[in-house]
Amino acid sequence: MPDEVSAETVDASAPAKRSSRLRLLALAAFFVGSLAIAKLTGLSDAIDVETIRRWMDAAGPLGFVGFVVAFAVGELMHVPGVVFVGAASVAYGNVLGSLAAYLGALASITASFYVVRTIGGQPLGEVQRPVVRKILARLDEHPIATIAILRFIFWMAPALNYGLAMSKVRFRDYFIGSALGLVIPIPLVVVFFDWVMSVDVGAWLTALF
């Protein structure tokens, strides 16, 4: 009887494992495909801080909303998030730039979560290896605090977005933890960009040396 139950369990899990592999292959295809499109079309090279700033200025009041949407889409197309944060700083200054960059970052990590989870599922939640389970245990026990710390350290790193989306973490915890973890780094980067754009580098270097 136990052998029969074991065999039934193996048979039942086989389709699930096959489905998980197929979804991971689909996710890999999406990642490689989007990267190839960004490179072949020149999108990842053409989009920079100044390009985004000019577009935001030309769009007028709609530029703010368009920026948030572009941030979310751009991250999926492998445009570094720091480019959008820098553009927000240059276009809007410290206060409004921080708000635009923060909202754009939240839109970006939200889009990444849903795209990755929809395509790839939650395979990390099924991993039984002790080392992986130990790492994921903290995420299971204290999801918001763990994600907040990870966001504070790694910011919007695509690998972090993908890893969290493929875990068992709930979107609510993912979003709250990310919102808390990004609330300090984003404004700091905006202020840094504003300082870089305003400083006379030549004079600063002359005074320094």
- Residue 205 confidence (pLDDT): 44
Q: Note every long-range contact of 191-199, with CB atoms under 8 Å and residues 24 or more positions apart, other chains counting.
A: 191/89, 191/94, 191/98, 193/49, 193/85, 193/86, 193/89, 193/90, 194/89, 194/90, 194/93, 194/94, 194/97, 197/89, 197/90
- Residue 33 confidence (pLDDT): 84
Give 76-116 pLDDT, tens digit per residue.
888 888 889 988 988 888 999 999 999 999 999 999 999 99
Q: Rounded to the nearest 5 degrees, what angle is found at the Cα of 38, between the Cα atoms of 35 and 39?
A: 85
Q: Can you tell me the distance from the alpha carbon of 68 to that of 119, in angstroms, rounded to the nearest whole number?
A: 23
CB-based contact 88:67 (threshold 8 Å): yes
- Distances in Å between the Cα of 187 and the Cα atoms of 89, 96, 178, 193 are 9, 10, 14, 10
- Residue 128 confidence (pLDDT): 59
- Residue 114 confidence (pLDDT): 95
Q: Could you read off the pLDDT tens digit of each residue along the chain, which spans 209 residues?
A: 555 544 444 444 667 677 778 888 888 888 888 878 877 776 666 677 888 888 887 888 788 899 999 999 988 888 888 889 988 988 888 999 999 999 999 999 999 999 999 998 888 766 656 655 676 778 888 999 999 999 999 988 888 999 899 998 999 999 999 999 999 999 999 998 888 777 655 454 455 45
- Residue 164 confidence (pLDDT): 92
- Residue 27 confidence (pLDDT): 84
